[in-house]
Structure 1
Amino acid sequence: MPTRRDQRSVAAEQFLQDKQAQEEKDLKEHGQIKHVSTFRQALPQVLASTAKNLILLDLGMTVAFPTIVIPVLLNSKTGLSFSTTTASWFGSVGFICQPLGSVLSGIVLEPLGRKYSMLLVNVPHIFGWYLFYTAGSLFTLFTAMIIMGLGVGFMEAPIITYVGEISEPRFRGMLTSYAGIFVSLGFVLIYAMGNFTDWQHVAAISCSVPIITILAISQVPETPLWLLSRGRLEDAEKALCWLRGWVEPRAVRQELSEMIRYSESSQLRKPQTAQLERAAYTNKVSLDDEEKGDKNSISLPAIDKSNNDINKTSDTEKTSEFVNVDLADSSNTRQVSQINNNGINLEKRNSDSVGAHETDWKVRLKDLVRPEMLRPLGLVIGFFFFLNASGVTAMRPYFIKVFEKLDFPVSPLRSTVVFSMIQFAANILCMVTVRWTGKRPMALISLLACAIATTTTGFYTLLSGPHIPSQSGWLPFFMFVVLQFFTGYGVAPVPWMLVSEVFPFRGRSLASGVAAAASYILGFVGTKTFLGLEMTLSLGGVFLLYGSLSFIGTVFLYYTMPETEGRSLEQIEMDYKTKK
């Protein structure tokens, strides 16, 4: 009996044959495909990413919210009140809940799809903001923060996966760095509203953001790759037409056929060769070094590349030239061969399907402990450690308290707005320049600048004593400008860019989840320990600790971080695979 996967594969091949026939007919009737401008090709991908990034706007607002709550409630004499310990828990509990949200996300991401998962993540945030607005007890406040933490963890997998599956390689760097702008914008909005109204009304206003997000995401398509994995070929074609500039189907037929073949090959439990193992969709499919196909196959010419003007301006490398469908097998066992320019084909993939001999979790675990997976995982987790050790993430819930101690010449509340706007501008600059500067120089320079800023502030604080004259407050203020700028320019966005690039396709989802969970745990440790470290080391000592760790982090990245900008996912993976 043919399995459901067999039936989907046969349907996919039939779909390609039908589209091939339609392509030839359209070429005769309508001629060549009209050229589509780069702007038109990029616009729908930017719009879809913007809808997704509204979730990150809510994330930024969630992370920034404790900053305006803690100074009001810390040792308050009336109404709700935080002790120092309670405040440290309120500022950090959301981080420790996020890994659980990531696990829940992994469970529902494949069955629901990327789009519906992104819609679902807004529900806990609506509920959480409402609880903040109506909070009359510490229990309600902590319940709301736990719900928000779960929601933040839940959102990571779908938003990371979505942008990777809808974007072309040439736009991928821009679209991934574009996401950081919305996180910083969330900081700006919360801090700005905190200057004009109380934290409960800020929560009420913030409740509108996830509602708007639901409306926006409902207007964008599901990813074509997920639709193909569910056998929804027509829907995948429509989604791809939308994402490539609202073009006619024949304009995306070549890319769609490659995506179908890629989707089929990714069903393997264990690839037959290293070349197929490293195949990852970057608008190209490379299926070299596979065994020769049977002679009883019928060759169908693939879509003529000359017919697809739209792809001439893309980064697509056309490698597939024929699709061979074996019709001679009377046992209903599907055999599909894909022949590239060199006449090499791939066949009999069904015999080695996922779960044929091992349970899925064992396969995933084996994928995770491969050297080519562990090396980039160590890099990313190490980068996340030094991100949290650079100071901004750990201090954020306590910014106002820190600014008061440093005696800034600008009021603490206004300082939060100024610094968040600086980080917002840095995120924009990152998006604009990453294509030319590369991620490695950006990360090294940014972390080194953070090290200098925190070390300078630490020495200044220790040498100034317990009271810092107000006329001297400009130096630490300027150091915080440097710290916020370079955190937003390289230290914060680059590790998340790496998460979407450095892991092999096989096991990428699990590795991304592990990296994200590590980020949240490290964020929890950083925020939870800040007040305790301040009491033990003094504020100046904490800054010196952060500065020392940032210097160490710069050395760590210098020796471990490769340049990934402008390189295909296949090239990045092979670099890790060939390292000893």
Structure 2
Amino acid sequence: MSTDAGDDGVRKPLLHTGSWYRMSGLGSRQSSIMGSSVQILRESISIYLCVFIVALGPIQFGFTCGYSNPTQYEIINDLGLTISEFSIFGSLSNIGAMVGAIASGQIAEYIGRKGSLMIAAIPNIIGWLAISFAKDSSFLFMGRLLEGFGVGIISYTVPVYIAEIAPQNMRGSLGAANQLSITIGVMLAYLLGLFLPWRILAVLGILPCTILIPALFFIPESPRWLAKMGLEDFETSLQVLRGFDTDISNEVNEIKRSVGSSSKQTAIRFSELKRKRYWYPLMVGIGLLMLQQLSGINGVFFYSSSIFQSAGVESAKSATLALGAIQVIVCAISAALVDRAGRRVLLIVSCSLMTASSLVVSVAFYLKDPENTDSILGVFALVGLLFLVLGFSIGLGGVPWIIMSEILPVSIKSLAGSVATLANWLSASVVTMTANLLFTWSCGGTFLIYAIVSALTVVFVAFCVPETKGKTLEEIQLSFR
């Protein structure tokens, strides 16, 4: 690129900023008007476009999670599977996600946030095709593993990308879009599964990632990743995200200082993880993401139909769809609240409501007469489950991912993020594999265990989790020193 590019406009590589962006007059940004309504509108449009596109990844994530629920009996009958084989099919996505989680941090570190999402999209597409054409369990299992691998990368990369591009006053609400998109994907799988054969449903699963790959070329790469990699176009990326009339000099300087301090030491020894600036955010990230799953929410969603049948609910599939719809509505409300109420408040309210709801469900199952399907206690169990999902959706569903993407130091983000994401998927696998056995043992006892975990999460949040609302990523990292 010529040295007079600043006069003629700046065109940046397709990989980093998107070829349709054109900037001119970079030197004039010093005289821009920060508070103008025009600037806010431009900033919002640019940011929302980026979030809308990368949200296709979490929609794929949710569709994968929700697919096995409405298709269970059809797949078992068409392919002659046993219940055990279908249970393996359901759990293979978690195993694939654990592998993807291990690789996610390094992939996102070396080829960028956009590049890692492109890589994640490919196995998802191949996986859905394998499932849709499956004639036996082998293709079915292979497809589910590939989907899980892609989902494992998506689950780390999307929250990190959103946190790195968002202004500090919008980071929470935009970060909550990750969980909202997952719930939309789950609900779509539940809804379409009521009407479509399982093979057609699998073909539709290809759509989010098929759209995602070309759409990624039209949004900028994370400016913080570009700066860390020593690429000068991080300023271009940031200017596109903030609006062409915005003075970004202060944010540019903060990013340079943060990157400069982290690049003084390129490798972190395990012995140095004993320092509070490393172990504390890592402990908070891993703790929140593990407790999120150990609350039992995946067990509830994977086996919601059988839980509703045990509770005496006649239309179990409709009740499951209602759970999905509640998740979407409450996640949308949570997205509007997270930058106002704060992360800690939402987490405490969320986990307290989950504790109370799990206790209600537990008591209802303990007291319910198995022979009496019309018992009022069955209604209490249904209401308790609905409030359990409501509580999860308002805080514990999305906020841990937001906090994880905010608090991990730049120097260990790739490794620590992979470890935290792996811990999440490992916990999800434990819950998914044990939930059916626990429900067979005792539905009341199972929900009592989940209530205890939710209560412990309240204590963990109250004493260990810092508030990150209204702080830049650089300020958050400095607070741990």
Structure 1 residue 574: Cα displacement: 5.0
Instruction: Name the CA distance, whole Å, in 1 between partners of 2:289 and 2:389.
Output: 16
Q: Which amino acid aligns with 1:492?
A: G
Of 414, 418, 423 in structure 2, the residue corresponding to residue 518 of structure 1 is: 423
Preserved contact between residue 292 and residue 397 of structure 2 (Cα < 8 Å): yes
Of 342, 348, 372 in structure 2, the residue corresponding to residue 444 of structure 1 is: 348
Structure 2 counterparts to residues 316-355 of structure 1, below 5 A: 354=266
TM-score when normalising by structure 1 = 0.73
Structure 1 residue 489: Cα displacement: 0.6
Preserved contact between residue 102 and residue 419 of structure 2 (Cα < 8 Å): no
Residue 240 of structure 1 is matched in structure 2 by 238
Residue 202 of structure 1 is matched in structure 2 by 201
Structure 1 residue 72: Cα displacement: 3.8
1:465/1:369 Cα in 2 relative to 1: closer, same or farther (>3 Å)? Answer: farther
Residue 391 of structure 1 is matched in structure 2 by 296
Of 364, 373, 381 in structure 2, the residue corresponding to residue 460 of structure 1 is: 364
Preserved contact between residue 447 and residue 551 of structure 1 (Cα < 8 Å): yes
Residue 65 of structure 1 is matched in structure 2 by 67
1:26/1:244 Cα in 2 relative to 1: closer, same or farther (>3 Å)? Answer: closer
Q: Is it true that 1:502 corresponds to 2:371 in the alignment?
A: no
Cα shift readout 1:200-221 (whole Å, capped 9, x = no counterpart): 2111112122111113222111
Instruction: Name the CA distance, whole Å, in 1 between partners of 2:396 and 2:474.
Output: 25
Q: Which has the higher contact order (CA 8 A, sep 6+)?
A: 2
Instruction: Name the CA distance, whole Å, in 2 between partners of 1:384 and 1:254.
Output: 33
For 1:135, what is the secondary structure of its paired residue?
A: coil
1:142/1:39 Cα in 2 relative to 1: closer, same or farther (>3 Å)? Answer: same
1:437/1:202 Cα in 2 relative to 1: closer, same or farther (>3 Å)? Answer: same
Structure 1 residue 527: Cα displacement: 0.2
Cα shift readout 1:374-427 (whole Å, capped 9, x = no counterpart): 223323333233322322212322221222221225x12111221111011111
Instruction: Name the CA distance, whole Å, in 2 between partners of 1:226 and 1:545.
Output: 41
Instruction: Name the CA distance, whole Å, in 2 between partners of 1:114 and 1:71.
Output: 38
Structure 2 counterparts to residues 525-536 of structure 1, below 5 A: 525-535=430-440
| More helix, by proportion | 2
Instruction: Name the CA distance, whole Å, in 2 between partners of 1:550 and 1:265.
Output: 38
Instruction: Name the CA distance, whole Å, in 1 between partners of 2:260 and 2:469.
Output: 28
Structure 2 counterparts to residues 196-345 of structure 1, below 5 A: 196-233=195-232, 235-245=233-243, 247=244, 251-252=247-248, 255-256=251-252, 258-260=254-256, 262-269=258-265
Instruction: Name the CA distance, whole Å, in 1 between partners of 2:299 and 2:176.
Output: 22
Structure 1 residue 196: Cα displacement: 0.7
Q: Which amino acid aligns with 1:69?
A: T
Residue 79 of structure 2 is matched in structure 1 by 79
Percent identical: 26
Instruction: Name the CA distance, whole Å, in 2 between partners of 1:545 and 1:24.
Output: 58
TM-score when normalising by structure 2 = 0.87
Larger radius of gyration: 1
For 1:501, what is the secondary structure of its paired residue?
A: helix
Preserved contact between residue 367 and residue 506 of structure 1 (Cα < 8 Å): no
Task: Give structure 2 stretches of 5+ with no counterpart.
Answer: 11-23
Give the root-mean-square deviation of aligned CA atoms: 2.9
Instruction: Name the CA distance, whole Å, in 2 between partners of 1:575 and 1:425.
Output: 34
Structure 1 residue 456: Cα displacement: 1.1
Task: Give structure 1 stretches of 5+ with no counterpart.
Answer: 1-10, 270-353, 355-359
Residue 316 of structure 2 is matched in structure 1 by 412
Residue 326 of structure 2 is matched in structure 1 by 422
Preserved contact between residue 133 and residue 204 of structure 1 (Cα < 8 Å): yes
Instruction: Name the CA distance, whole Å, in 1 between partners of 2:256 and 2:471.
Output: 23
Instruction: Name the CA distance, whole Å, in 2 between partners of 1:559 and 1:551.
Output: 13
1:442/1:257 Cα in 2 relative to 1: closer, same or farther (>3 Å)? Answer: closer
Instruction: Name the CA distance, whole Å, in 2 between partners of 1:369 and 1:394.
Output: 35
Which is further off, 387-396 or 170-179? Answer: 387-396
1:26/1:90 Cα in 2 relative to 1: closer, same or farther (>3 Å)? Answer: closer
Instruction: Name the CA distance, whole Å, in 1 between partners of 2:318 and 2:306.
Output: 13
For 1:143, what is the secondary structure of its paired residue?
A: helix
1:32/1:503 Cα in 2 relative to 1: closer, same or farther (>3 Å)? Answer: closer
Preserved contact between residue 94 and residue 150 of structure 1 (Cα < 8 Å): yes
Residue 470 of structure 1 is matched in structure 2 by 374
Preserved contact between residue 172 and residue 469 of structure 2 (Cα < 8 Å): yes
